[in-house]
Amino acid sequence: MPKPFKVVQIANDDHPLPDWVEPRFAAANVECSYHQCHNREDLQSCVDGADILWLMGGRKGLVIEENMDLFPNIGAVQRVGSGTDNIDHNACTKRGILVVHTPEDMTEVTSDHVIAMLFSAVRRIAWHDRNISSGIWAQQDPMSVCKLRGAELGLIGLGRIGKAVVEKLSGFQMKVRVYDPYADPEMIKSLGCEPVGLDELLQKSQLVALVCALTEETLGLIGPDQLNMMREDAVLVNCARGPIVDEQALYETLKNKRIAGAALDVFSETPMPEGHLFRSLENVNFTPHAAGVPLPFPDALYVNQIQSIVDLAEGRMPRWIANRGVKPKWNLQSQ
């Protein structure tokens, strides 16, 4: 019998695989084991002979240049969802290791969540909910930030999620500005949006939503200077990645009511520490990095991931590769 194709799954918590996964793996001669890895020593104890490293979360410091000597057989690192900022792309690309992800898993639910967070912040839903739960009936204080129909929306990023947000909000007749230096301006215009620079977007848009990837270019993209550009009646929504925004600067901005509010699904630390400064603010809404959780859960989380693993085990290129231009160490057939 040929040697099993070995997959090492790394997650923060145990992720039991759905019942239908085992027969799929058995048919493809895939052997999968689960581990909680936090550092190099943990990796050393579990990756010997592994073909794929399968990351279920955003744990950092594992797939980095310093650990590449532990991965002599690994031909692919797979990350659930779209974000691969916790993987060293250059280190993988140099060694022919594919960085595989499943970006379409999150498009529908994340775009829904962006809109829900936006609406909640505009209508002060969380503020009113907290007040009523505390016995306070403040019907008209504070009022809604703005009317949604005809509002001015700025999108930072126009990938799959950004496009879905534009499509779903089309009935609100918003004026949508887009900052995305990698998007074709004509494509942006074809969606009824206006391509602009970041400064113009921040200065003119009342509603600002971050729907971009975390990269070297977007790390700290929204800092003190950018927050100071925003309108006093502005709302900032971040369902992308926490480190895109300078949290200390955002805290000061919200504390001093330099902008109307924020709605945050992502943070620099997850889970948010108990004494985090944001917890003391009334003009911010939170969700626990839940925007990208697909429905029905958990089955929907696995469909594309399992298919990618089976494709690799059977010698086929997976559908989505994040490190484009990589020359795979394995001989894989195109689909």
Place of tokens 């290129």: 317
Sheet architecture: strand order including 98-101: 30-35, 5-10, 52-55, 76-79, 98-101
Question: Catalytic: which of 41, 269, 274, 324?
Answer: 269
Residue 228 dihedral angles phi and psi, to the nearest 5°: -70, -20
Inter-CA distances, 234 with 163, 175, 179, 253, Å: 22, 14, 17, 11
269 classed as catalytic:
yes
- How many other C-beta atoms can be found within 10 angstroms of the C-beta atom of residue 272? 17
Q: What is the DSSP-derived secondary structure letter of residue 237?
A: E
Respond yes or no: is residue 289 known to be catalytic.
yes
Q: Based on the residue annotation, tell me whether 95 is a catalytic residue of this protein.
A: no
Residue 64: Cβ within 10 Å count:
14
CA dist list (Å): 193 to 170, 174, 187, 232, 237 = 10, 9, 9, 23, 18
CA atoms within 13 A on the CB side of 38: 2
Sign of torsion over alpha carbons 118, 120, 124, 126: negative
Q: Which of 113, 124, 177, 289 is catalytic?
A: 289
Active site residues: 241, 269, 289
